Each structure stands twice: as structure tokens, then as C-alpha cells.
Structure 1
């Protein structure tokens, strides 16, 4: 066959060029609570292990959890809860604000739940690491979940007036 090299490859006339993996590339490993804890410690963050065995701490006054979900703990989720609650009467306005956030940004997913007669606002970033994750991949998801969650809650401070305090959550 004659013709451009890419065309020959598409038509099966030439083999695909081999991609050489960089020699310093880390192999993915299973994600564990210890690996998440090591990342947090390396950053100098303070956290505790709660009664459910999840890592949790407060950033800018809001509670964040670092969860391992799924059948084998392969899904990493960073979940944050804003440190204010909003009256139920503001559900429509809050839902519109969160919808705007979700439409304009990829992370974090933002949602609200009714808790004890008030609205609680949450952030979530999740990633499925079934085949494992490198330290760099894990750090990226944890950093994204925490950083974008803090950004969401800061935006809420300026957007949603009159949020009441959250129920007491123990500090770490």
C-alpha cells in the first residue's frame, strides 16, 4: 500500500508506533484510608477518624469527609458540608444558586438536603479508582475535592444571606 503513513495505519498497512512508558512512571496501587491520611499529613492538615472510620476535618469552618466507597473501597469521595444552614423557606433560591454553580463548573457537585428542619448544603468530588491510583492521581482528586469545596462554600457566603449556624460538629 502506498500513501500517507496515517492512512496506511488506519487501513491496517502499518503498525501503530509503540509508546514507551517513562521509566519513572509510578504504577497504580489500591487506594486505602492510610494513603489518604498520608496525603493529608504531608500537607500538614489536621484530621481525625470518626466513629464510622472515615477521615474528617474542618477547613474554613466547614466539615469535610474523605470517604472510600464502593464494594472494595475503590471510589474516593471528598464530601464537604457548609458550616451554615438555611431555612426551608429559602429552598428555591438556594436550589437556583446551586444549579447555577453546577451548570457553570465541573467540580464540585453541589446539592442540598433537609436536615432537622433546615437545609444543609454539600459539595462532592468522586473518582473511581478500581484499577488503583498513583500518588499523583490520588493527590489530584483529594486536592480538587477540598479546594473546590472550599471555593463553593466561600461563594455561598457571599450569595446566600442569613444562613444559620450548623449543628455542633466536633473540631479536630
Structure 2
């Protein structure tokens, strides 16, 4: 027995709505050449993008702001696997870029039937906050890791954003 097609009753997912939720947090971000939103939290770049045929998936992608030599690839990969064995998100992947180990996180959810502002807030907090926890583990394990020249993210404003949000924007 199949059910009738589901008509969305929630507002549709759009990057404009994601931007509104980031604005409500006082986030510092810009739009990149692909039209995605990009900002920095604790010096790590994050992208906010809609993907899929109908742009129905929201993806929060983070990148560790440091890199280690290729000799550490296996160790970083094992750390990502350990994290993934016990944590629901984010998805973590490790790859070589310009002869250095790069680490990315992703938290992607399908909102084909629409999404509330509260769900967007939860997605942003979970995607950024969980990535920052993993990046903090990497920072602890590799205190001498080399900062990377990440893709452009907006420069911080002169004022300090001061509130206790686990996905707080940073000024560096």
C-alpha cells in the first residue's frame, strides 16, 4: 500500500534562510564564488551549501585549519575512524592536498519536505559544534601542526562577538 505524495507544509530550504539563521547568531560570513556561504569558527573555515537536484540537502562542511605531513595520514585517519565509531556526526574524511594531510567534516540533512527555523538552528549548531570538538582533538594531538592557507573566508569585524553558543563565530 503506497501513500499519496507528500505536500510540503514547512517553509522550503534556501541559503537565504540559512543566512538569516547565521545572522540571528551574529555570525560572520560571506558568499563564495559558487554561491555558498562561508565563514570561520575558531579559525576553521566552514561552508554552508544546498546540494541535490532540488537543492533539498543542507550541508555544513568544515575544514581543519591546520595540516600535518603525509606521514601522519594513517594516524589522522585512525583518529577519524575512532571518532566515527562513537559519534553520530559529523562525517569525517581525510585526504592529501598539496603533500599535506587535510581533514574535512560534513553534516548533511535532507529537507525535501521543508524545514523549520528551529531545525536549521539545530543543524548549524550540530554541524559546527561537533566539527569543532573533533578539530580540538586534532589540535591537542598535533600542537605543532602548520596552519593552512584555507580558501577565503570573511575578515572579522573590529567588534568582538561575545556569547556562549557552541557554534560561535570566531574572530581569527
- Report the TM-score when normalising by structure 2: 0.81
Measured in 1, the distance between the counterparts of 2:60 and 2:150 equals: 20
The 10-residue stretch of structure 1 (56-65 or 135-144) with the greater mean CA deviation from structure 2? 135-144
Equivalent-residue separation in structure 2 for 1:92 and 1:115 (angstroms): 15
Superposition deviation, residue 97 in structure 1: 0.8
Aligned to 1:126: 108
Q: Which runs of 5+ in 2 are unaligned?
A: 1-8, 155-172
Max radius of gyration: which structure? 1
Aligned-pair CA distance for 1:72: 0.8
* 1:18-33 → structure 2 map (5 Å cutoff): 27-33=9-15
Q: Please give the alpha-carbon distance, in whole angstroms, between the structure 2 residues aligned to 1:168 and 1:94.
A: 19
Distance 1:134 1:168, change over 3 A: closer
- The correspondence of residues 16-95 of structure 1 with structure 2, limited to 5 A, is 27-95=9-77
Q: Relative contact order, CA 8 A, sep 6+: which one is greater?
A: 2
Matches of 1:65 and 1:143, distance apart in 2: 13
CA distance in 1, matches of 2:44, 2:64: 5
Secondary structure of the residue aligned to 2:64 is strand
Q: Which runs of 4+ in 1 moved over 6 A?
A: none
Q: Do the aligned residues in 2 keep the contact of 1:57 with 1:65 (CA within 8 Å)?
A: yes
State the secondary structure of the residue aligned to 1:143: helix
Match of 1:158 in 2: 140
State the SS of the aligned residue for 2:65: strand
- Separation in 2, partners of 1:53, 1:151: 27
TM-score (norm 1): 0.81
RMSD, aligned α-carbons: 1.2
In structure 1, the gaps of 5 or more residues are 1-26
**How far did residue 140 of structure 1 move?**
0.9
Tell me, what secondary structure is at the counterpart of 1:28?
coil
